[in-house]
Structure 1
């Protein structure tokens, strides 16, 4: 028993290194992908809110907003996100309309 204790004491730094490596692999496999996925979702939600706000400002300032203007805003967000925008222009307009209705009833 004393010999085992001496081996543990002499190799405590190696044991701690091994525990650190195992924990790094564990956190890397289980927690980092979920965190990256959450960050991507948050990035999309921020872009979606920004796009809706831009369209609302266009509509409010001009009282008209053309389809090509909305498409160019979506293309700009696709460049920023570096991936295709998952919503269609019709879906975006429904969200903007709902946002206008929320503003109407909140104030």
Structure 2
């Protein structure tokens, strides 16, 4: 996981009103008493990230690289894949750059998380 990309994704999430309150515990602004699981965050917010009209393609790619490290859910990658295949998207994620970035991260020599 690229720490800078994960931090970019964290800042984006916080700007959307979604904060991480602990390991695997999230909350939305307006409902802080309701804990969200990483899976719920992945479903609700990863869908929005690749379509954020306030971000350019590079910033949206950074989100796509950083969100898996935050939510640690398969659904994050699924939602990003759906965004790549969205034919109605006005400014789609550059698929080649996304897959190149994912390959670089998978091939990187990094100590596994414990």
TM-score, with structure 2 as normaliser = 0.29
> Which is greater in Rg?
1
TM-score, with structure 1 as normaliser = 0.30
RCO higher in structure (CA 8 A, sep ≥6): 2
Structure (1 or 2) with the greater strand fraction: 2
Structure (1 or 2) with the greater helix fraction: 1
